[in-house]
A and B are shown apart, each in its own frame.
Chain A
Amino acid sequence: MQFSLIISFLFHAVIILVAYFGIPLLPERDLVVDAPIVVEIINIDDVSNVPAPQPKAKKKPEPKKPEPPKEKPKPPPPAPEKPTPQPEPEAEPEPAPEPEAEPVPEKKVEKKPKPKPEVVKPKPRLKTVKVSRKPKPPKKELDFTSLMKNLDLKKTPKAEKKEEDQPKLDDFAKDIAAAIKKPSQFSDASRPLSITEIDALRQHIAKCWNPPIGAKDAENLKIEIEVTMNQDGTPRAASIGSRSNLSDPFYRAAAESALRAVNNRRCWPYPLSPETYDQWQNMTLVFDPRELLGL
């Protein structure tokens, strides 16, 4: 009797132990898988300042490199890919972000590590673009980091790359922009702007901004420009955010250079989809030359 009781206790204990240590492991894995996909990451527009835009542009191509085996199948399967988005819109009604997340992860997590699987909806669109673009982005463009020449660095082939790559980046950005501009059946006005859209906007404006790189303490000349937008993606009004420093000639020059970037009609309209107008109707563009100076 006692023996069986002890056995019983032991077995129960084993089960409890297994459950105690084992169960947390199982769901945890799921959670970990879920975590990177959480849609919130995209939603937070400000997040876009995490990595520099250029690196990001690269990151997207990069994750694909590991795939090459898959890439070959890909060109034909643009069709198979599309199914992926379809589950999303269904989930989109947005009551819960998580359901959305789940269908996506399984496919995406395999492809992309963690960094940006989140780019939920626009992705399908972008992907099709990228597939064709792939040959170009591989030539990377990190050299932007410092616009100040240093002969020490020049010995690495960086300096030359800079000029070569610029146009390519432009093309790439243009394509992204074009892809985003296409009204999409999947777009949802209530969703926040996605990171890629912001990236496209950022790159777009960057092309028109002539930053004050040689100025004294240029790294501190962070300028905010408040912009009111028209629905067609053109700025209606733009003003310098903080006017109190305008007596400082360096600040004024930097602020005016930022304002010129916004007022430069050659850069109009901005690559923003009209469906999300209410989100970018008013926005603040923060011109920060720090990274340009390689700081």
Chain B
Amino acid sequence: MKIALRLLALTALVIFASPAFAELRVDITQGKVEAMPLAVMKFTGDDQQAAEVGRNMAEVISADLERSGLFKPINPKAFIQKELSMETLPRFGDWRILNAQALVQGHAASKGNGDLAITFRLWDVFGEQQMVGLAYNTVADNWRRVAHIIADTIYQRITGESGYFDTRVVYVAENGPANRRVKRLAIMDQDGANHRFLTDGADLILTPRFSPTLQEITYLSYYQNTPRVYLFNIDTGRQSILGDFPGMTFAPRFSFDGKKVVMSMAKDGNSDIYTMDIATRNYRRLTKHSSIDTSPSYSPDGKSITFNSDRGGSQQIYVMDSNGKNVRRISFGKGRYATPVWSPRGDLIAFTKMTKGRFYIGVMRTDGSGERLLADGYLVESPTWSPNGRVMMFFRETITAGKKTTKLYSVDLTGYNEREIITPLEASDPAWSPLIP
């Protein structure tokens, strides 16, 4: 009886209590994806030279953030508060009117001897508080890098992801007619500045790849008409052959720890995947199959390798353990798939896809699900990831009036922010560096 009463009371409680006093919960499942409006104020300076540097830095930071597609710098002409010293709080109300969600300010102080002390603050305008405040000491000539580093810091603080502005891109610069094409290795900052050529164009250069840890590049060169994989140190300019192999080696790529290079080697008329330890130069064969296995790429944890193979009849993407075991096919869409590249973030694999006479750059999860095509063209090839796995660079060949032109482009993961990368000559085969140490 008592139990029954209790039950009754409990039931009554449940019935009467819950609907009336449940706290209101509202699920927001939709959003408006748009670039975040932010204001980058001109960095102030102690003297004229420092002020000049400060102004340039603000421009570089602003351009970096804008190019990412995630930020929308507000035109400085619209600023209401024109002056702001590092020691005072911004007038947040003035910035809210502009809908600036974040505010960047900075100051360059001369330290004599040509050095600069650069300080900057990132403000949360709505929350009315500082998000980051940092200072850098640098030689004045280095201001561009410091600007990229500051842009990276802002990017990281707001998106949670490390930035990619303080990076370089190496690519193959091309010019001349198709039958006498000159291909040179070239390098530039991620924004196109500081461009220079690394090789003279005497030999054909293909597939340059950055080491994820060092400022070192591996690539394929037809030096003396023999295709071989070379290592090139950017800082010293030294070039060395990566091992002397019995067959033709191609499609080299570093592992994420920079200690190994995985590549494909054609021997006895058959291409298979090999991995080589850079320190000891010992190599090991990973696949043994009569089909063509090529374009290998390590996962960031070094435990898996993705590659493409026509073992199933058509060119498709496969993943295997790093010891060559447990090979499984992951691409099942229509068309052919090539050049899989594992994202540095580990969650996606970028690839080139050919279907119905068109080329696409796309991404899929590492199990092959969630395939999305981000860019297309008559020929798009050679995707390379930014070090944070958020943006890809690739090259696109277009034919206008019977004339082929090859250019570099970047596209972010959403697929909506595609940009052309301006290079002095035609360009192909880009490779993105890690963040500069």
What residues of chain A have their CB less than 8 Å away from a CB belonging to chain B? Answer: 40, 43-46, 48-49, 52-54, 144, 147-152, 166, 192-193, 198, 201-203, 205-217, 248-254, 256, 258-261, 263-266, 279-280, 282-292
Contacts and interface: CB of A to CB of B under 8 A. Distances in A.
B127 interface: yes
Contacts of A151: 360, 362, 372-376, 415
Contacts of A280: 24
Interface in B19-65: 19-20, 22-34, 36
A45 B25 contact: yes
B124 to A, nearest CB: 8
21 contacts: A44-B19, A45-B22, A48-B27, A53-B30, A150-B374, A151-B372, A151-B373, A192-B20, A193-B24, A202-B26, A202-B29, A210-B33, A212-B160, A213-B414, A216-B389, A249-B156, A256-B127, A258-B28, A282-B23, A282-B24, A283-B25
B160 A148 contact: no
B34 A215 contact: no
A289 B23 contact: no
Contacts of A214: 70, 159, 161, 390, 412-414
Interface in B362-379: 362, 371-376
A147 B101 CA distance: 22
B415 A148 contact: yes
A211 B158 CA distance: 12
Given A211-B33, A284-B25, 11 more contacts: A148-B372, A148-B413, A152-B373, A166-B32, A198-B26, A202-B28, A207-B32, A217-B347, A261-B28, A266-B99, A288-B28
A100 B99 CA distance: 46
A291 B29 contact: yes
B245 interface: no
Please indicate which of the listed interface residues A149, A152, A248, A287 has the most CB atoms of chain B within 10 Å of its own CB: A149
A252 B19 contact: no
A203 B30 contact: yes
B19 A283 contact: no
Nearest to B21: A279
B29 A288 contact: yes
B147 to A, nearest CB: 22
A53 B31 CA distance: 11
A40 B19 CA distance: 8
Contacts of B311: none
A27 to B, nearest CB: 23
B285 to A, nearest CB: 34
A286 B25 contact: yes
A211 B34 CA distance: 9
B27 A49 contact: yes
A288 B27 contact: yes
B347 A216 contact: yes
A198 to B, nearest CB: 6
Nearest to B346: A216
Contacts of A251: 160
B345 A216 contact: yes
Contacts of B19: 40, 43-44, 192
A292 B161 CA distance: 19
B126 A260 contact: yes
B26 A250 contact: no
B16 interface: no
A281 B33 CA distance: 28
Given A46-B25, A48-B26, A291-B30, A264 B415 contact: no
A259 B29 contact: no
Contact of A284 (B23, B159, B416): B23
Contact of B159 (A202, A207, A212, A248): A212
Contacts of B25: 45-46, 283-286
B267 to A, nearest CB: 38
Contact of A150 (B33, B99, B160, B372): B372
Contact of A149 (B31, B374, B389): B374
Contact of B161 (A152, A209, A249, A284): A249
A217 B347 CA distance: 8
Contacts of B124: 256, 260
A46 B26 CA distance: 7
B373 A254 contact: no
Contact of B28 (A217, A252, A287): A287
A287 B60 CA distance: 33
Nearest to A270: B26
A265 B126 contact: yes
Contact of A250 (B30, B34, B161, B415): B161
Contact of B160 (A147, A252, A263): A252
Interface in B95-123: 96, 99, 101
Interface in B384-431: 389-390, 412-416
Contacts of A49: 27, 29
A209 to B, nearest CB: 4
Contacts of B27: 46, 48-49, 202, 286, 288
Contacts of A193: 24
Among B28, B124, B415, chain A packs the most CB atoms within 10 A around the CB of B28
Contacts of A206: 28-32
B372 A283 contact: no
Contacts of B414: 147-149, 213-214
A206 B29 CA distance: 7
A128 to B, nearest CB: 25
A263 B127 contact: yes
A40 B96 CA distance: 42
B394 to A, nearest CB: 14
B29 A147 contact: no
B56 to A, nearest CB: 28
B376 A284 contact: no
Nearest to A211: B31
A292 B31 contact: yes
Given A215-B160, A216-B161, A263-B126, A205 B26 contact: yes
Nearest to B33: A147
A208 B101 CA distance: 11
A201 B32 contact: no
A295 B289 CA distance: 37
Given A148-B414, A149-B414, A216-B345, A209 B31 contact: yes
Contacts of A205: 26, 28
Contacts of B156: 249
Interface string B139-182: 00000000000000000111111000000000000000000000
